[in-house]
Amino acid sequence: MADTLQQGQIIHGCMRIAGMPVPEAGDLIGRALDAGINFFDHADIYGQGKSEAVFGDAIRRLGIPRDQLVIQTKCSIRAGFYDCSKEHIIRSVEGSLKRLGTDYVDVLLLHRPDTLMEPEEVAEAFDSLESSGKVKNFGVSNHNPMQIELLSKSCRQKLMFNQLQFSLVHTPIVDSGINVNLYNDDAMVRAGSILEYSRIHGITIQAWSPLQHGFIEGVFLDNPNFAALNHNLATMARKKGLTPATLAIALDFEASGQDAAYCRYDQSPKARGIKPGQGGLPFEARMVRTLFSSRKRITLIQTRQSPGLSWVL
């Protein structure tokens, strides 16, 4: 089960390594391992499979023992539609294993919810992959509570993870919980109370692109559209002897209300320097709890890009 995985709280996202030369990808993987990051996130669609192939080649060149890595991949996104059929899930995993050069993956996530999925088919696929030793643990990505309930109705395996977009500037999983019974946009329940549901059911949230704004627009660090946020992050980071990126990640850990795992897809220098164990900083914990429990947070949510933005300490 997932509670036996030897993993840190930081996940290294591999979406963008498809275009890297294998030696460069190997250097990236090596630096991640040196920093204590042993959990690597993939998907069958990343680079149309090229990301997994580059990773597999790099691991072979480095000679890293398989049991020192936690490898996760995802499936269900196809050209123009989502597919959670038994046939596609099994075929996708077998393709990923071949590209990764491994006999098993530690975690398989359903990448996006297939509204027309048959949970019994998913259960059959999971049973087959588990019994054959090809997948050790299972979860979902971008699913809401009722979709998880539908799957859980048929699947014997506990869904251990849910990968969701979350960052300081993308907060729908917490916004509605702060704005209960109010007439404003943030009171809209867009994620089905997935944060509370995950805490109740012991599902670990993996926050993808925790330094990104929008869907694929890029990182918010040093972005002039988030000048006030970056100013305050830089000021507070200096006081703590941290980088702004590290502080942003630490705040995400606290705001999520649980021990979340974070997928870092951006490989730019702005996003580097984040190491396991830097979440849960006491100063930031007090600060973020004030932000997310104070009525002032309502104003902050609505004006997060305003020059008047300030953090409540």
Residues that are catalytic: 46
- Among candidates 15, 2, 10, which has minimal Cα distance to 31? 10
Alpha-carbon span 52 to 183, nearest angstrom: 46
Contact between residue 167 and residue 213 where contact means Cβ atoms under 8 Å apart? yes
Query: Cα–Cα distances in Å, from 92 out to 15, 44, 86?
Result: 16, 7, 10
SS3 call for 138: strand
DSSP state of 135: E
How would you label 20-46 residue by residue, b for 16+ Cβ within 10 Å and e otherwise?
A: bebeebbebbeebbebebbbbbbbbbb
Contacts of 45 (CB under 8 A, 6+ apart): 77, 111
Contacts of 137 (CB under 8 A, 6+ apart): 1, 2, 5, 106, 107, 108, 157, 160, 161
Contacts of 152 (CB under 8 A, 6+ apart): 159
Contact between residue 43 and residue 75 where contact means Cβ atoms under 8 Å apart? yes
